[in-house]
Structure 1
Amino acid sequence: MWYNMSANQRIRTNPPNQGSEYSAESGILNERILLLVFESIKWDLQVLCLTASVNRKLRAIANRILWRNLCASRAPRMVAALANGVPDGRISGGWHALAKLMFFCCGCESTRHFKLSRPSPGHFVKASRFSKTSGQSFLSKKCRGDLLYVSDPCEHPMGDKEDDLGIYRGVFQGFMRSRTMACLIRRQVELEEQVRCSYCGARVWSMSTARLVPKSAARRLGSHDGGIEYFVCVNGHLYGSCWLLPLSSDEDEREGTRRDGGDDDHDVGSDDPDGYRRCD
């Protein structure tokens, strides 16, 4: 009884809403505690999204440390490469945008260079594989020195009379200093007026308008020449769509073998098998 009374008295004399040092550094607002909690639940994406939406303080903590740790826990080598040489551990567009790019297929709508019979919605993905070898296929010869990671295409069935739609995404390392950025500026390519980056909201360039879509990109994706479009934003996020050619069973087996990975592949996935599903 005396213990309960003493505890109640302590709670009354030190209410958490008075801005005391104890309340400011305890519980859910303590960064060390938050890190331990999310490590214990293996950086569950849905929980982190809910946490960041509670209030401005938690959103600030998530933007400063939690999103980066989530990205590093799911793709440590890729994140280490992207953060190499970055001052203060900050990347263009923010870590929350990179986390969205890792786990969200942005869907597709018709553009000037890519026409659809109907839009295809975005969705969370269960797993993705990002590859810098794939990224090299998206760079023109003059830009091959850039480091770009690109995902395997997410397949969206469009109907019996149409090819499947492939939607992919990627990210540059140090885009502001990249050869691709320099090439866009040198060619005086204008930013798109109506299109914004699906991951950070920044303005984008159409690589089709810039005539910087190499034929190797279509070959890498398994698409026919001309059936491909992608955008790159000022923060270095890439996303786009293509028409996927149908594969025979032998081709499908070879493609599966190729996608089983290499030293440059970085798998990004959920530990919850029911958490994020491929679009059906």
Structure 2
Amino acid sequence: MSRDQRLKSNYPPSQGSQSSESGILNDSILVLLFKTIEWDVQTLCLTSLVSRKLRAIAERVLWRELCVYRAPRMVASLANGTAHGRFCGGWHALAKIMFFCCGCESTRHFKVNQPLPGHFVKAARFSKTSGRSFLSKKCRGDLLYVSDPCEHPTTGDKEDDYLGIYRGVFKGFTRSTTRASLIGRQAALEDRVRCPYCRARVWSMTTARLVPKSAARRLGSHDGGLEYFVCVNGHLHGTCWLVPLSTDEDETNGDDEDNDSDGGNIDTQTGMDVHQ
């Protein structure tokens, strides 16, 4: 080794390079940084794509902090005081449920003329009152948060056909009565459908005959046209046909809010990796 090479190898790195590396990879500094920008989802998505180390920090800390910031009451209820632990299915999946409408394709019990792609939402409202409407009578002790349906006009036979796409999440699904009922009925997991939020396998609640009539009433669905799935991690997603509201009905329903709603008024334009 030459003298110049020995001097170069023994020379300490500059203070600037050390501070840069320790700063960007420091959990506390990143949390403070994202607090200053109010947990902008697009920035968080881009940050997690920079490197494997930053992606690991996002998985370990940042997605959890985003969920707590955006929907503190819902997260506190779902996590039951363990917000700093691991959330079933991962905190990234919960963040995705908050911000992403998964779109839909035709399934065994629900047909659409053409698939609708997923998209990010500007606002979302989740309610445990709505969630109770999706539980059969003997499962009403479970806690489920469900979003209002995201409305999509379609190109069907009728010009007033509107497709509603909704999503939700169970608390403690592995210990829930809903899961016990699915297993007790020997419901088979679907072969062709996967959870759009964590890629786990799902049960069709329609096939298992666990869809109560109250779900259609809550959604404003007509002709009983709805279906939803629940994955092994307790994430729910589904579709329904909606009856379009008149102007008067829109104004009336605009004042009908649940007191237990959370995750509402989420304004975002995001680049979150929807395939994770």
TM-score normalised over the length of structure 1? 0.87
Q: In 2, distance between residues paired with 1:226 and 1:150?
A: 18
The residue that corresponds to 2:43 in the other structure is 47
TM-superposed CA distance for 1:249, in Å, is 2.6
TM-superposed CA distance for 1:14, in Å, is 1.9
The residue that corresponds to 2:273 in the other structure is none
Q: Deviations over 1:5-26 (max 9, x none)?
A: xxxx9xx62258x9xxx56971
- RMSD (CA atoms): 2.1
SS at match of 2:254: helix
Maintained 8 Å contact 1:103/1:124 = yes
Q: In 2, distance between residues paired with 1:225 and 1:213?
A: 14
Superposed, which structure 2 residues align to 1:1-280 within 5 Å? 13-14=12-13, 26-84=22-80, 86=82, 89-159=85-155, 161-258=159-256, 261-271=257-267, 275=269
SS at match of 1:89: coil
Q: Deviations over 1:185-218 (max 9, x none)?
A: 0000000011110000000000000011111000
Q: In 2, distance between residues paired with 1:147 and 1:112?
A: 27
SS at match of 1:265: coil
Q: Deviations over 1:98-136 (max 9, x none)?
A: 000100000011001000011111100001000000000
TM-superposed CA distance for 1:225, in Å, is 4.0
TM-superposed CA distance for 1:246, in Å, is 1.9
Maintained 8 Å contact 2:79/2:87 = yes
Q: In 1, distance between residues paired with 2:236 and 2:83?
A: 22
Q: In 1, distance between residues paired with 2:264 and 2:168?
A: 12
TM-superposed CA distance for 1:254, in Å, is 2.2
Cα 1:87–1:266, aligned 2, differ >3 Å: closer, same or farther? closer
TM-superposed CA distance for 1:250, in Å, is 2.7
TM-superposed CA distance for 1:248, in Å, is 2.4
SS at match of 2:208: coil
Q: Deviations over 1:137-196 (max 9, x none)?
A: 000001000000000000001145351000000000000000000000000000001111
Cα 1:48–1:268, aligned 2, differ >3 Å: closer, same or farther? farther
Aligned letter for 1:165?
L
Q: In 2, distance between residues paired with 1:123 and 1:140?
A: 30
TM-score normalised over the length of structure 2? 0.88
Cα 1:216–1:38, aligned 2, differ >3 Å: closer, same or farther? same
Name stretches of at least 5 consecutive residues in structure 1 with no aligned partner: 1-8
TM-superposed CA distance for 1:27, in Å, is 1.6
Maintained 8 Å contact 1:204/1:232 = yes
TM-superposed CA distance for 1:268, in Å, is 3.7
SS at match of 2:263: strand
Q: In 2, distance between residues paired with 1:51 and 1:38?
A: 11
Aligned letter for 2:57?
I
